[in-house]
Every structure is written in structure tokens, then in C-alpha cells.
A and B are shown apart, each in its own frame.
With several copies, the nearest count.
Chain A
Amino acid sequence: MDKKEGATMKNKVVPTIKLYDYLLVPIQIELDDNTVERLQMQILHEIHEKEVRGIIIDVSMVDVIDSYISFVLSETAGMAKAMGCYVVICGIQPQVALTLSQMGIKLKDIITAQSLEDAINILDKLE
């Protein structure tokens, strides 16, 4: 990573879409460790700045979620929850879900939804 990139957090790691009170985060890039950490920071900043009440992380394009990515996603969700914001993950590929469960990894603090619509429905009910 170029030093300038991470520097002032001006550049977002992932472009996000505001949807009602929710923030949609479609992950379309490789989640290397640094990226997932910067994504965490970005999500927390956006919750704070935009007064987001729910985050929907769309991981349908992500083909590997390993233990550290899982850890950071869960941690982000835990921190978001403490900030009054629920995190829903949607579109998790079946083989990724299988791999995680076989490894004994649970996405703590994260709500799992099949689709984007489901995610929105779940968040609507949580309000």
C-alpha cells in the first residue's frame, strides 16, 4: 500500500451507499488485512458522521473469508453495536459459509441475511 493512501483516511477503502438510515457497503475488492482494517475504520467513521442506524455489508463478491477477516468483521460489528448500529452481512457465498463453519468460526455480533432485501427487512424490524 502506498503510504499516502492510508494516510488521512480521505480516500474511502470501499464506496458506500446511504439507504434510508442504513449504509450499504458492497465489498468488491480483495480483503487483505490492511484493507479490512481500513474498512473497519471507514465504517466506524461513517456511522459517526452520517448517523447511520444499520450497516449492510454485502460480501457476495468475496471468495475467501479467513479467521482474521472474520475477527475484524465481528469486532467492527461489536463496536458498531456499541455505537447503536447493527451490522448485517448479506450474500455470503455458500462455500465460504461452509468453510467458516468447518473451521469453527462464528461471526460474533453479526446478523446474517440471505439477500439485501432480507437485510433491510431485518434492520427495519430491529429499529
Chain B
Amino acid sequence: MNPQDYDIVLKIKDESDIAVSRQMAKNFAQKMDFSLADVTKIATAVSELARNIYRYAKEGYIYIRKKEGGSEKAPAIEILACDRGPGIENVELAISGGYTTSERSLGLGLAGIRRLMDSFHIESEVGKGTVVIVEKRRRVF
């Protein structure tokens, strides 16, 4: 993965970066002409990803880019969240929904992101870190 391939790189380190990344994603999706509903879904997904980085890995990055869809297809937005945090022991469980290791949380972040986006890919290794890659295609009108 090459950071230069992305349109936006967001460092997540402070709690306030969660809200910032949410707004950046919203603006970017708006500029890509996503529908209001999809803009909201994308911004919400980024908010969840950023919070997980802040909460579980203390710091990490979120990369956002526009992916052209080729001659006929509409473009897509790709979001990549990565950190060198503790990793997830049981990924299946973590993305199943309702599972959380936080005391005050719903455990619906990862499961929610998966439902909001068109594609969802996660790789995590205990002690190494976590990478989540999601995509949402713009609807053809």
C-alpha cells in the first residue's frame, strides 16, 4: 500500500480526530456526488473506523480515495483504516455484531460498517495490528 495513491490521509491520534475524519469523509463523498444517504453511511463508517483506531490501537491512519469505475461503471470510494495496535483475537466474533471489549459500547461498529458498505475486508494479527478496507460504489442514476 502506498499512501501517495490516496486522496486523503488522516492521522488518528486524539479523540477529536474521530469527528474530524468523519467530516473529511463526508466532504469527500459529497464531492464525489454520492447521494445524501450514502454520504451519511460513508461518514458514519469512517467515524466507527477512526474510533476503533483511537480506542483500541491509540493511533493509526485512515486513507481515503476515489476509485474510477472504468468506462461504464460509476466510481467508488475506498477507505482503508490501519493501525499497529493490539490486533483482534477473534475477528469472526468481532465482526458478528454485539461483541465488544469496551465497557460502554454497543459492539456494532464493525458489523455496522460491513452492512453500510458494499465491500468489507479485514485483516488483523494479535500484537501486530489491524487493517480494514471498505468500499462503496456510487449508484448509477
A-side interface residues toward B, CB under 8 Å?
A: 1, 3-4, 7-10, 30-34, 45, 63-68, 70-72, 75, 93-96, 98-99, 102-105
Contact = CB atoms under 8 A, between A and B. Distances in A.
Binding site of A, secondary structure by majority: helix, strand, loop or mixed? helix
B47 to A, nearest CB: 4
Interface in B59-89: none
Interface of B: 14-16, 18-19, 22-23, 26, 36-37, 39-41, 43-44, 47-48, 51, 54-55, 58, 97, 102-106, 108-109, 111-113, 115-116
A93 B44 CA distance: 13
Contacts of B44: 64-66, 99, 103
Contacts, number: 97
Main secondary structure of the interface of B (DSSP, over half): helix
Contacts of A105: 106, 108, 112
Contact of A98 (B40, B103, B104, B105): B40
A70 B40 contact: no
A98 B37 contact: yes
B64 to A, nearest CB: 15
Contacts of B58: 4
Contacts of A64: 22, 26, 40, 43-44, 47
A66 B51 contact: yes
